[in-house]
Homo-oligomer: A and B are copies of this chain.
Amino acid sequence: MLMRNLTMMTDLYQLTMMNGYFRYGKRDQVSVFDMFFRGHALQEYAVMAGLEQVIEYIQNLHFNREDIEYLRSLNIFDEDFLEYLRTFRFNGEIYAMPEGSIVFPQEPLVRVKAKIMEAQFIETALLNIINHQTLIATKARRVVQAAKGGSVLEFGLRRAQGPDAGILGARAAVIGGCDATSNVMTGQMFDIPVKGTHAHSWVMSFPDELSAFRAYADVFPDGCMLLVDTYDTLKSGVPNAITCFKELRAKGYEPVGIRLDSGDLAYLSKKARQMLDAAGFPNAKIFASGDLDEDLIWDLNAQGACIDVWGVGTKLITSDGFTALGGVYKLSCEDENGTMVPKIKVSENPVKITNPGYKKVMRIYDNATNKAIADLIMLEEESVDESKPLTLFHPVDTWKKMTVTDFHTKELLQPIFVDGKLVYQQPKLQQICAFAREEMESFWEEYRRLRNPHVYKVDLSQKLYDLKQELLKKARNGKA
């Protein structure tokens, strides 16, 4: 559906480096890159999202004639390199964690193995797409948790950072647990529910509030949700809504409810609930909106606010307070004369030191509870013997150890592209959402809570740990 050609959506330096690799005879050199994030302020986990758009991007990857002309006009590229770009496609391998997966810092969410020019080129778009949707899915998950079973609707389109941020952000929000979006295009593209009623301008365009309500109820008797705060919520809005609801019921329809969009939502929702109940509408829902986020929803619930449905806009769709996941894409392995050689990026900051090698990620589940215990990053060639006790250790404070028995494992990275061919059956969005809910269920609540969650273990295998130490030592001696 969104088959825009995003090939040119890249950082210029990807192309200058490619020209360099081309000139330096590295055209056929195979490299491995990992995409991961380093930890973020929101909490420990993130909800993986965006893979479907990465797949579309890869499938659609090609430079057209105008693109090549434009690049030539920059006067920095070799002519034979520009000629090479004409037939440039992605012919490599991509493994990734499925959308909806619960993922943690440092572990590869996407692993790319390809000729270095192909692997390098796709970095920018891959990061842009996964960083964005994973960020919004994670934020949405937090909002949904705060709502404690109340329904959450996404309607931030008008405040999103551009069209895609609204369209794909709404998709990610639904993966994160929102029940619906106001965004009609997202509904159409991904077959998810769309919701909406009316604005203050509807009320203002009628001579008075009751006329506006009656007109709306007349047009949508089946889905009558009335916005009650245009003039005065408790003195005018709710009483007029009740009048309208009684008339509707007399015609054989049950109203959906009312929407509060301003004022003290705790107080107003309790009063409105009493008024609706007293008038014989205990099933009329109270919908609240207005600059909500997970903290405010949590607080309103703690105050006993009578809110059934939360409409969350700006702060969800922009991930207010934490505006970028900060995922990175780092070289981990490189072919040198036919042998794959692990690579490390050192840094004064230990969290920025990369994990070398061609790796996989195993999630370890307790057999008794089916809950996740830890993730283990290991080399691709390694395996875990589920019949024997497994000792895990902290990747920095190595004296912190834990031995697990009676467990099973799951390999998290799934094959998406092999030899440039799509081998992955992209699930429908509703399937992704179902998987995302299962994923949440597989973690103890302590890992999921909004504030100070328990730190989930992401450890390295002994072999990977030793390799990392060895490469670190070499790098400190000037031979990385």
**A residues with CB within 8 A of B:** 4, 6, 8-17, 19-21, 23-24, 26, 29, 31, 33, 67, 70-71, 74, 76, 78, 116, 120, 123-125, 127-129, 131-133, 135-136, 155, 157-169, 182-185, 187-188, 194-202, 204-205, 208, 215-216, 218-220, 222-223, 230-231, 236, 262-263, 314, 318-320, 323-326, 330-331, 334, 343, 345-349, 352, 475, 478-480
Assess the A198–B161 pair: CB atoms within 8 A.
no
B23 touching A198, Cβ below 8 Å: no
Number of copies: 2
Query: Are A198's CB and B17's CB within 8 A?
Result: yes
Contacts A/B (CB < 8 Å), 30 sampled: A4-B163, A6-B185, A8-B185, A9-B185, A10-B184, A11-B182, A12-B187, A12-B196, A20-B216, A20-B219, A23-B219, A67-B188, A76-B220, A76-B222, A120-B201, A128-B157, A129-B162, A160-B161, A161-B161, A161-B169, A161-B319, A162-B167, A200-B345, A204-B331, A205-B331, A263-B348, A314-B324, A314-B326, A318-B324, A320-B323
Q: How far is the CB of A154 from chain B (nearest CB, A)?
A: 11
Closest to A158 in B: B127
In angstroms, Cα B19 to Cα A319, docked, is 33
Q: Are B194 and A19 in contact (CB under 8 A)?
A: no
Q: Do A205 and B127 have beta carbons less than 8 Å apart?
A: no
Shortest beta-carbon contacts, A-B, top 3: A12-B196, A13-B196, A162-B164
Structural contact, A161 and B318, CB atoms closer than 8 A: yes
Closest B residue to A222 by CB, please name it: B76
Known: A202-B20, A314-B324, A478-B236. A163 touches B9 (CB 8 A): yes
Shortest Cβ distance from residue A271 to the other chain B in the assembled complex, whole angstroms: 15
B204 and A345 contacting across the interface, CB-CB below 8 Å: yes
Partner of A330, one of B201, B215, B345: B201
Q: Which of B14, B128, B348 contacts A160 (CB 8 A)?
A: B128
Residue of B nearest to A156 (CB): B324
The minimal Cβ–Cβ distance linking A160 to chain B, given in whole angstroms, is 6
Bound complex: CA of A155 vs CA of B230, how far in Å? 43
Chain B residues within an 8 Å CB radius of A230: 345
B184, B199, B320: the one within 8 Å of A324 (CB): B320
Given contacts A12-B184, A132-B165, A262-B347, contact A158 B201 (CB under 8 A): no
